[in-house]
Structure 1
Amino acid sequence: MKAEIISTGTEILLGQIINTNSAYLSEKLAELGIDIYFQSTVGDNPKRLAFLLKQALKRSDIVITTGGLGPTVDDITLRTIANTFKRKLIFDKRILFHIKEHFRKRGVEMPPINIRQAYIPEGAVILENRQGTAPGFILEENRKFLIALPGPPSELKPMFEKEVIPFLKSKFGLKEVILTRTIKITGISESAVAEKIEDLLKLKPPLTLGINAHPHEVHLKITAKEKNKKMALVKITKLEKEIKKRLGNCIFGKDKENLEEVLGKLLVKNKKTIAVAESCTGGLIANRITDIPGSSRYFILGIVAYSNQEKIKLLRVPSEILEKYGAVSKEVAEIMAKNIRKIAETDIGIGVTGIAGPKGGSPKKPVGLVYIAISARDKTEVKEYHFLGNRLEIKLKTSQEALDLIRKYLMEK
């Protein structure tokens, strides 16, 4: 069973919005055991969309379109599909009632232009829109299926899960599944990861392993195609164990987990609290930690001491240390970490100082030089880093290494 996705909208082509629908649909179709061979994006042009639809229906069993079902003149998907399939557009009272109800619940009158959305291609299966006004629909032609979905993700996702998935399972008796698991790694380069798992990257279907570099992380994607979910999970779990054996604590999480979420769970598990003293990152580390709901259980205090004066005043860094070693030094980072821990009375303190650039560097202390210190009752450690990139990239890399340093400390407990 082959499927492909056509995303419509000039705004996508111009990069004005990010197309998350294709990624979502590909993942869900893969879980159903349906192969995705093509993804396309086309602007709001009827001729180009019609051409693409005809091409897609020649090579795929299922074609899914997203977007272009709204009431405005640039919403051309509905009429283009009807013309391509040579189907009349039929007015449906039930759809109009649903649209009117949608506006009534919001306390506003339905604009007359929305009546356009009450028309559907003749013979189509209507897909209810529980979040918006544009209905989706399914058309069958010569044992090929076209599924038209609205563009907004908040409308597309519930429609696909509640309407389309049950239809596909019923229509095709889908049993085979494709499952994926993403293993997330940090603190090691893509090439270094590849060297450790080179043989595993050569695996062939039904079990494969892929590698992708992401900002400050490396992701490994395990994909298994099997008769049922249980069998696929057995294969995935076995390969995951082998990867963990080779990469150890460089692995911080999987699937949708992020580093700050994993760190938060470790802090809660170990009943530890933390405080952060930042300079070059400007509060980014504290921001990432507190992005996690419930972080008040472990995050106590964050201080951004950007100037030397505030390092002396707020973090009690001795002026003679600043004069002797400079603000960007392992000595200052260590004192920042120790003192923030004492001031906040936490289990762990983090001190960060560095040069994010683009100016401020020197031959001895170049842009990208960063010191990260961790202080706990049983350990104090300072690490020196030399990051490359622009100002924002250096700040992000610093925050990533700081969070990972705490994670690795907690894993030793």
Structure 2
Amino acid sequence: MKAKVIIIGNEILNGFTKDTNAHFLINNLLKNDITVDNVVFIKDEIFTIIEELEKSFQVDFVFLTGGLGPTNDDVTTNALNVFFKDKKPKLLNNSVGTAPGLWFSKAGINYFAFPGVPAEMKIMAFQLFKTLFNKVDKKNSFLHVGTVGIRESKLLLVLKEFEKSLPKNCKMSYLPEIFIVKLRFHGINTEEEVFIEIKKKLNELLNTHIFSFNQISLEESIINSLIKKNINISIAESCTGGQISKMITSVSGASKVLIGSVIVYSEYAKEKILDVSSEIIKKNGVVSEIVVKKMAISVMEKFKTNFGLATTGFMGPLEKENDRFAWVCLASKTKTVTKKIYLKSTRQNNILFTSRVILNELRKEIL
């Protein structure tokens, strides 16, 4: 079965609002064996919406988002009324907002219109799919594998022969992120034993680079391991400015393992809060191995935790490429691991990269 997605909104086409609805619909429709043939983005104009609806044939479903509200630029309902000649639609409950969704049928095609607000649309679509597709036997199945600390180019080499050996009804995709590469296996009428064998082979080939065999994040997998092993941590952040703490506390159960964290952005804060002496900073520089080591050990001791994590660095943007680097440190009572990393992206990406590097060091230590 096939579908078309129509995203309506001037604010999206003007670049003021980032669309996430299309990705959500595509992903969840595929899980229900519905393939999205095309996605279009159009303006809040009645004639434009009608024109796009008239071109929507050779599909089983059409999903529209945006333009159902009460403001002057919300014209989707009017366009649908014209297209369907004032035929009354079924109303889809909106438990979050005020505008209900609309369900029309015409010439064997089902048309669903949702509000454009993602928080509303996603709940409504989720409930609809559960009702619409709950009795359908699924032929599509997926396996998601999270890897960290290995580049996509290296993965391609390591998995070259493995990929060739996959069954014809199982396709593999590489989804690179910052310091992370996700592997997705899409099976059509694939037996569960196939995925079990894939997991086994990947464990042999990638070993400790794998952090999950489902869609949980790196930080969630770390939190789960820390809880299971009754290990706690503390964090001292300089260049990452609270990013690591944010990632950790975004996971349910973080309070069981994160005892405390501090943002010691200035030299003054490092001296007063973590007792890093001004002489050490002056002699070695604030971004140095000895300073990050002192930070990690100090935060561990002050919070009385099993591990202390610390970061210090130049996040950019800077004029000289070689000035973009950071030091990270993971300290325990028996071992201290430091790492110098070179940064080549935007400031925001560099902060995330540095955060994931130190979290990966923690993950490796608690395996």
TM-score by length of 1: 0.80
Match of 2:305 in 1: 346
Would you say the 8 A contact 1:201–1:210 is kept in 2?
A: no
* TM-aligned CA deviation for residue 256 of structure 1: 3.8
Match of 2:332 in 1: 376
Match of 1:70 in 2: 69
SS of corresponding position for 1:56: coil
Write out aligned runs for 1:234-245 (5 A). 234-245=193-204
Structure 1 unaligned segments of length 5 or more: list them: 90-120
Match of 1:292 in 2: 251
Q: How far apart, in 2, do the equivalents of 1:291 and 1:131 lie?
A: 23
SS of corresponding position for 1:210: strand
Q: How far apart, in 2, do the equivalents of 1:372 and 1:140 lie?
A: 58
Matching of residue 24 in structure 1 with residue 24 in structure 2 = yes
Write out aligned runs for 1:391-402 (5 A). 391-402=347-358
Q: How far apart, in 1, do the equivalents of 2:246 and 2:110 lie?
A: 47
Structure 2 counterpart of 1:14, one-letter code = N
Matching of residue 176 in structure 1 with residue 138 in structure 2 = yes
Match of 2:48 in 1: 48
* TM-aligned CA deviation for residue 335 of structure 1: 2.2
Structure 2 unaligned segments of length 5 or more: list them: none
Would you say the 8 A contact 1:355–1:367 is kept in 2?
A: yes
* TM-aligned CA deviation for residue 41 of structure 1: 1.4
Q: How far apart, in 2, do the equivalents of 1:259 and 1:221 lie?
A: 16
Q: How far apart, in 2, do the equivalents of 1:208 and 1:301 lie?
A: 43
Deviation per CA, 1:195-251: give whole Å up to 9, x if none: 22234556575311111222332121111222xxxx554433432332233222222
Equivalent residue for 1:311, pick from 270, 276, 279: 270
Structure 2 counterpart of 1:40, one-letter code = V
Write out aligned runs for 1:235-314 (5 A). 235-314=194-273
Q: How far apart, in 2, do the equivalents of 1:164 and 1:319 lie?
A: 61
Q: How far apart, in 2, do the equivalents of 1:205 and 1:71 lie?
A: 50
Alignment size in residue pairs: 366
Match of 1:217 in 2: 180
Matching of residue 145 in structure 1 with residue 110 in structure 2 = yes
Would you say the 8 A contact 1:357–1:390 is kept in 2?
A: yes
* TM-aligned CA deviation for residue 289 of structure 1: 2.2
Q: How far apart, in 2, do the equivalents of 1:322 and 1:159 lie?
A: 55
Would you say the 8 A contact 1:33–1:225 is kept in 2?
A: no
Would you say the 8 A contact 1:337–1:373 is kept in 2?
A: yes
Highest Rg: 1 or 2? 1
Equivalent residue for 1:132, pick from 97, 108, 115: 97
Would you say the 8 A contact 2:146–2:215 is kept in 1?
A: no
Match of 2:285 in 1: 326
Match of 1:155 in 2: 120
Q: How far apart, in 2, do the equivalents of 1:46 and 1:141 lie?
A: 19
SS of corresponding position for 2:132: helix
Match of 1:92 in 2: none
Structure 1 counterpart of 2:62, one-letter code = V
SS of corresponding position for 1:69: coil
* TM-aligned CA deviation for residue 156 of structure 1: 2.7
* TM-aligned CA deviation for residue 409 of structure 1: 0.7
Q: How far apart, in 2, do the equivalents of 1:260 and 1:3 lie?
A: 35
Q: How far apart, in 2, do the equivalents of 1:218 and 1:288 lie?
A: 18
* TM-aligned CA deviation for residue 408 of structure 1: 0.8
In structure 2, the CA distance between the partners of 1:125 and 1:388, relative to structure 1 (3 Å rule), is same
Match of 1:95 in 2: none
Q: How far apart, in 2, do the equivalents of 1:159 and 1:279 lie?
A: 42
* TM-aligned CA deviation for residue 164 of structure 1: 4.8
In structure 2, the CA distance between the partners of 1:125 and 1:290, relative to structure 1 (3 Å rule), is closer
Deviation per CA, 1:155-200: give whole Å up to 9, x if none: 333433334542356xxx7323323333222222221122222345
